[in-house]
Amino acid sequence: MKYRTIGTDPATRREVSALALGAMLFGSVTDEKTSFAILDHFVEAGGTFIDTSDNYAYWVDGGLGGQSERLLGKWRRSRGIGDEIVIATKLGAEPLAPGTGFVDNPEGLSAKAVHAAVERSRERLGVEKIDLLYAHIEDRTVPLGETVEAFGELVQQGTVGLLGASNHAIWRIERARALARAAGLPGYEVLQYQHSHLRPRYDIPTPLFEDGSLGHAGPELLSYLRAEQDLTLVAYSPLLAGAYTRRDKPLPADYDHPGTPSRLAVLHEITAETGATTNQVVLAWQLSSPFPIIPLAGASSLSQLKENLAAVDLELTEEQRGRLDGAY
């Protein structure tokens, strides 16, 4: 396993595995026995970075979520896991009532909601301190300064270690970081967005954002990361839910554009050259990025996990990397 450092403050920064394990469906779609086996193997292989959210997976049973956090808490206790494993969670998108969702009825990012959500997550995870806490989605009904202050207070109290944000407009990220600096508070240091080798269209409206998706790592975010190298991108859905390799998993509609075939062609060429799998090449491409990227890949079986872990040791040549970058 290889490792990366997230955060800059010596008091809160953490060394984590270069590959993160997504636990979104653990305890719901993926049963306890399988989830525990995947978690155990990940740790045995040197993995130290696990990701979840307080609302995972509310859509499975129409409830409020929390299944993933509860399973991780049970696994931690049964294995005697301490602070050697970094568990990241998110808040802001847990439904307020069963049968609703994060679009129409989210918990939001008010100070009251933030503090209440953190206590629920700490209890489910069985931890005194949450290692990394993300603002999961935007909440434009609340002044940004209120959210920034609430998150900063959690770090100062020792309840949370590092702060991050996901699925936010980049101008909101920068404004929040500026507000935190001005107030002398900790700010966001880890950003979580969807990022893969194939590029989607960024202008297709979504239920949350009428101007287009803010959940993808588009050109503005990538430019921001190149300029602000104290930030780390945690790239979720790097393998597009199996769409690179599974015929029963077609690419999402926003990948249906003229640039996709040429990038796929180069990806398949390099897959053949390396003798690796297409998924491994995608992950290796992210791992060799000129700015810090930690791929966040889920797994529903040990075979999937082992395939992903092998990507950490796959070394692409500069020429291969250049071809992957330059395909349009």
182 inside domain: yes
Model pTM greater than 0.75? Answer: yes
274 inside domain: no
What CATH number corresponds to the domain at position 166? 3.20.20.100
328 inside domain: no
327 inside domain: no
Residue 229: count of CB within 10 angstroms of its CB? 10
Which residues belong to the active site? 56
43 inside domain: yes
CB 57 within 8 A of CB 90: no
243 inside domain: yes
97 inside domain: yes
3-state SS class at 293: strand
Residue 205 confidence (pLDDT) = 82
Mind listing the pLDDT tens digit for each residue in 55-88?
999 999 999 999 999 999 999 999 999 999 999 9
CB 150 within 8 A of CB 119: no
d(C-alpha 287, C-alpha 234), whole Å: 11
322 inside domain: no
Residue 204 confidence (pLDDT) = 85
Is the pLDDT reported for residue 182 higher than 80? yes
**154 is in which domain, residue-wise?**
3-250+279-317
Instruction: Say how many domains are in the chain.
Output: 1
- Residue 246: which residues within 8 A CB-CB, separation 6 or more? none
